[in-house]
Amino acid sequence: MIYLKNQDRRYSSVHDQEILYFIWRWKVVGVPVIAGQFSDRCSHKGIYNRVRALIREGQLKYIYMNDFNGFALTLTKKGFTRIKDDIGNLENEGYKSEATAHDFIVSAFHYGLFRIHSSFFVDALTESELRNTSPQNYPPPIPKTKVHRPDGYLLAGVTPTSSVIAIEVEWSRKEASRYEQLAEFYSKYTNVFGVWVAKTETIATIILNALNANAVLRGKRHLVFIWKDLLENDWNAKSINGGNTGKTLSDLVPSNYGKTAGKPLENLTLFFLTRAGKTPSTSIGYKKPEKSQIVTVPGAQKTPPSINITPDIPKPTPSSPVSQSTQTQKEEPPHE
């Protein structure tokens, strides 16, 4: 994560710059995601009031998304200008979304997965950070290359050999050859585990074929999920691929679940995080829907085993997630 150098403290417990920076990181977010991020310091109503003030000041704007029949938030040029000088290691001045529906899904999925396993993952690196900073400044476990940029990473440690989860959201179908190139890319990094979210079963099948055909991967170190299954079953949705068939996202970590056994996570479900209402508390996702499966953290005795992958995901090492390392791994791009 890249941190702001300075912060305007004229306002209450949540500052304008924090909100602007948070949205810069995730590019397109629903108000429920922002409310979830700052809920420990501010009420949902308070966050909504700050968002409305920033919209009136021209620093944020609502964008309408047809796929979700609602609105999400993104930065304006004025909002980005306010914080850009305080973002460390900024190489490019990007803040706009090129695919709003895709980025909205990425932010909800990536952010939610990071938060529910916050005692395991030491940091999340977003696509916006990857795009706008030099690979030289990526944390040590992250592939220091521009050959491919996933939709984000989750770090389970900060040493060069620490395991990393790459997030790949496929909201539109690509040629099979493109997925073959991505499989080749991931075959070069034994510490990277891939989590794929496919919009349709057809896209998921093309991805699986490419992963299984790779001589190194053979489908290992990757889980593929279909979006409709995630919406219906939330974090309990099961993967559909090969030897990992039936594994859930919760199986990715050894188990920090027992510490919060029985605690409901209503505000971290995908159903809630993908709500596109302008207010978090009146969003349909804020109240438990009749047919929605609200995830409850299992007790310690029910902790799921970690996936048998190579390498296994290690216990995270407490350390600063920000790296100034300048070591670059020699990288050969996948065949065109």
The answer, as to whether pTM is greater than 0.75, is yes
Which residue would you say has higher pLDDT here, 154 or 290? 154
Residue 221: pLDDT band (50, 70, 90) is confident
pLDDT of amino acid 304: 29
State the Cα–Cα distance between residues 269 and 50, nearest whole angstrom.
Answer: 24
pLDDT of amino acid 243: 54
Lowest mean pLDDT among 81-90, 238-247, 289-298: 289-298
Could you give the C-alpha distances from 214 to 56, 206, 245, 308, in angstroms and in order?
51, 13, 18, 19
Mean pLDDT for the stretch of residues 53-68: 94
**Beta-strand runs (E) in the chain:** 60-65, 70-75, 123-126, 152-155, 164-170, 192-198, 222-226
Q: Which of 166, 267, 248, 146 is nearest to 207 (CA)?
A: 166
Which residue would you say has higher pLDDT here, 27 or 13? 27
What would the pLDDT profile of 121-137 be if each residue is shown by its tens digit?
899 999 999 999 999 99
Task: For the chain, give the mean pLDDT.
Answer: 78
What would the pLDDT profile of 280-331 be if each residue is shown by its tens digit?
655 444 343 333 333 333 322 232 233 333 333 444 443 333 333 333 344 4
Which of helix, strand or coil describes residue 130?
Answer: helix
Q: Which of 230, 199, 192, 222 is nearest to 313 (CA)?
A: 192
Q: What is the token pair recorded at 251? A: 């199986």
State the Cα–Cα distance between residues 32 and 331, nearest whole angstrom.
Answer: 39
Q: Which of 31, 64, 27, 74 is nearest to 50 (CA)?
A: 31
Torsions phi, psi for 186 (to 5 deg) = -70, -25
Give bridge partners of residue 225 from the DSSP assignment.
Answer: 197
Mean pLDDT for the stretch of residues 2-18: 59
